[in-house]
Amino acid sequence: MYTRIFTLLLSVGLLAGFQHSPDEGKGRILYNQLGYINYAPKLLLVSEDVGLVRFLDGDGKEVLAVKPAAAQFWEASGTAVRKVDFSSLTVPGRYTVVAPGAKEQPAITISSAPYHKLARSVMKAFYLNRAGMPIVEQYAGKWARPAGHPDTLVYVHPSAAGPIRKAGSVISSPLGWYDAGDYNKYIVNSAIATYILFKALEDFPAYYRKLNLNIPETGKGAPDILAEAMHNYRWMLSMQDPADGGVYHKLTNKLFDEVVMPDKATKERYVVMKSTAATLDFAAVAAHASQTLKPYGKAYPGLAAESLEKAEKAWIWALQHPDVIYIQPGDIKTGAYGDRYLKDEFFWAAAELYLATGKQEYADAIIRYYMKPATPEWAVVQGLGFMSLISAYDKLPVPVKNTGLKADFMSHVDKLVAISLSSPYGVSIQKFAWGSNSYVANEGMLKLFMFQMTADQKYYRSALSDLDYILGRNATGYCFVTGYGDKQVMHIHHRPSQADGIPEPLPGFLAGGPNMDTFSDCPPETLRARLPAISYVDLECSYSTNEIAINWNAPLVYLAGGVDK
C-alpha cells in the first residue's frame, strides 16, 4: 500500500528530482553501523515486505529469530518500516542479520563499549578544525596541515568602529575554531559549542578527565576536553571591546574563501559589528567559564576571575543596547548568523551570571526573561540556561524555582520521548531544517541530561535511539559521522577536506543531514529527493545537506561521550 502511495506522489510530480526508484526502500535493513551496547536496548528497521529476521553468530548458527513489529509509514521518508527489537541478544560478538526479502545481510557488532573510538573522534574533530596553529602529524596523522589564519592582524570594520577602536584600526584576535565548512569565526555559534563542551565535562567528569585525545595540551594540567574548549574560548575573550564591553559578532573575510587549504587563504580579516546576541552569548559562556575554570587555576591562572569580570561588563552593554540586531554590512558576504529574537539570550546570560555571582539582579532577570524551554540551536539558547539552572536546582532561590523551570523542562523532554516511542524510526525529530542531524543530537543531549538528573531509563533509551539514527538507522542509510560506518559520508562541504588531496574526509565530523531548505547549492542537474528525511546528497557542493559545523558536533560529543562513559 505504502509503495503505491509513493508511486502516486512521484507520478503527480510531488517528488520531482527524486533520484531513486519508488522501490528503493524495499528489502532494506537499517541499523547502527558502529554497534550496540550489549546490555542496552537494540533496534533495527526493515522494510514492510521483510519477514522473520534471524541473527547468526560467527559460525553461522542461529542465535535469535525476531518477528518484526507491524509496519509504520513515515511521511517524512515516504516509506514504511518495521521495527526489530533484538535487545535480548546480549552476548558480545559479530552477528549476521538475515531476513527473507532483504537485499543484504549486514553484520552488526555487540560489545560493552562500541562508541569509545567515536566519542574520542567527534571531540578530536575540534582539534582538526583549529585556526591559528599548525595541525601536526603527531596529533593528526595524514591530516596534518600548516597553520592558517593567525588573526594577529585583524581590521576593525566600519560597522564595528567606536571612539577608541576606529574603523581600520588593527587588533589581534587569534586562536578559535573554524566555524563550519568555511574559515570564519562567529561568536553566536562558538558560544553554544563551547558551552556544551564545558557542560559535558561537568556532567561526566570522571569520563572526560581520563579521555586522552592526543592533542598538544594532553597531560598539561587540564582534561583534554577543557583544553580543546579553551582554544576557542580564548579567542572569544579577544572579541570583546575592552572600552565598553560589547562583543563583535564575527571575525571574517569580506567574501568566503575559495576551496583552498587554510594557509593558502590570506585575504584581509575583519571584526564586524557588535550585536546584542553576540554580547549576551559571550556573557553566558564567560560566566559559566568562571565556574568551570575554578578547579583548574594552575593551568589557567587568573582566568576564572577575569571571565566573570568580562561577563558582567558584557551584560551591562547588553542592558544599554538591548536590541542591536546584527545587520550584514553591504561589503560582507559571509555567514550572517542573524537573530532578531533576544529574550532567550537574556535568559541564558542571566542564568549563568546568577549561578556565578548569586546576585539578586540576575535572579530577577531570570524571572523577567523566563520562557518555556526548547531544544537548543545557535539562535535558540534558553535550553542551555535550563540545563545550568537545573544542575544547581537545590541552590536556587524560591522565586526562581517558582517559575516552574524544572517541571517545564521535564515536560519538554517527556514530549520528545513520547514522540520517539511512536515514531516509525524511533526518533523525536519533527523539523528537517538545515543541520537536521544536529536536532537529533541536541534532542539526544537533552534526554541524556535528563537521565543524569533522574536516572529514569526512558530518557537513556530514547537518547540511545537518537544515536542509532545518526549512525545509520535513518531513512538515507548513511552513517552521518565521517570516518565511520558501512555506508560512509565521503564528500562533506568542508574546505580542508576538499582541498587536502586526501580521498577520505577529516574524521569525526557530523554531516548536516537531510532537509529541503535549498536546492540551489549544487548544479541544476543534481537530483535530490523532495521528501525531508531523504533529501540528502553526499556531494561537496551540497552545503545545505553535507556541511559540518562546530555547533553540530558539540551535542554529539555530549551524547556519544555520555553513552560511552
What pLDDT score was predicted for residue 35?
Answer: 98
> Is the distance from CB of 402 to CB of 408 less than 8 angstroms?
no
What pLDDT score was predicted for residue 24?
Answer: 58
What pLDDT score was predicted for residue 51?
Answer: 87
- Assign a CATH topology to domain 1-112: Immunoglobulin-like (2.60.40)
pLDDT over 90 for what percent of the chain? 94
Confidence check: pLDDT of 4 > 90: no
Q: Catalytic: which of 151, 182, 203, 312?
A: 182
**Mean pLDDT value across residues 27-38:** 96
494-514 as b/e, with b when 16 or more CB fall inside 10 Å? bbbbbbbeeeebbbbbbbbbb
Tell me the three cell numbers of residue 9. 506522489
Catalytic residue status for 321: no
1-112 and 116-475+547-564 agree in CATH topology = no
Q: In this structure, is the dihedral angle defined by the CA atoms of residues 466, 467, 472 and 478, taken in order, positive or negative?
A: positive
How far apart (Å, rounded) are the C-alpha atoms in residues 219 and 291?
Answer: 22
The domain segmentation of the chain, as residue ranges, is 1-112, 116-475+547-564
Confidence check: pLDDT of 217 > 50: yes
HEC profile for 471-502? CCCCCCCCECECCCCCCECCCCECHHHHHCCC
In the block, which residue shows the cell 527524486? 18
Catalytic residue status for 564: no
* pLDDT confidence bin for 26, thresholds 50/70/90: confident
Taking only the tens place, the pLDDT of each residue in 266-316 is 999 999 999 999 999 999 999 999 999 999 999 999 999 999 999 999 999
Taking only the tens place, the pLDDT of each residue in 472-514 is 999 999 999 999 999 999 999 999 999 999 999 999 999 999 9
Taking only the tens place, the pLDDT of each residue in 436-479 is 999 999 999 999 999 999 999 999 999 999 999 999 999 999 99
Taking only the tens place, the pLDDT of each residue in 322-331 is 999 999 999 9
What pLDDT score was predicted for residue 23?
Answer: 52
CA distances for 203 relative to 37, 391, 558, 562, angstroms = 21, 9, 9, 8
Q: Catalytic: which of 493, 494, 540, 564?
A: 493
What pLDDT score was predicted for residue 12?
Answer: 31
- Assign a CATH topology to domain 116-475+547-564: Glycosyltransferase (1.50.10)
What pLDDT score was predicted for residue 101?
Answer: 85
What pLDDT score was predicted for residue 10?
Answer: 34
pLDDT over 70 for what percent of the chain? 96
CA distances for 532 relative to 78, 79, 218, 426, 518, angstroms = 9, 12, 42, 16, 11
* pLDDT confidence bin for 25, thresholds 50/70/90: low
What pLDDT score was predicted for residue 6?
Answer: 36
Taking only the tens place, the pLDDT of each residue in 117-151 is 999 999 999 999 999 999 999 999 999 999 999 99
Give the least confident one: 184-188, 332-336, 374-378, 524-528.
524-528
What pLDDT score was predicted for residue 141?
Answer: 98
How confident is the prediction for the chain on average, in pLDDT?
95
Catalytic residue status for 182: yes
**Mean pLDDT value across residues 401-416:** 98
Taking only the tens place, the pLDDT of each residue in 56-108 is 999 999 999 999 999 999 999 999 999 999 999 999 999 999 998 888 999 99
Q: Catalytic: which of 203, 281, 377, 547?
A: 547
What pLDDT score was predicted for residue 16?
Answer: 37
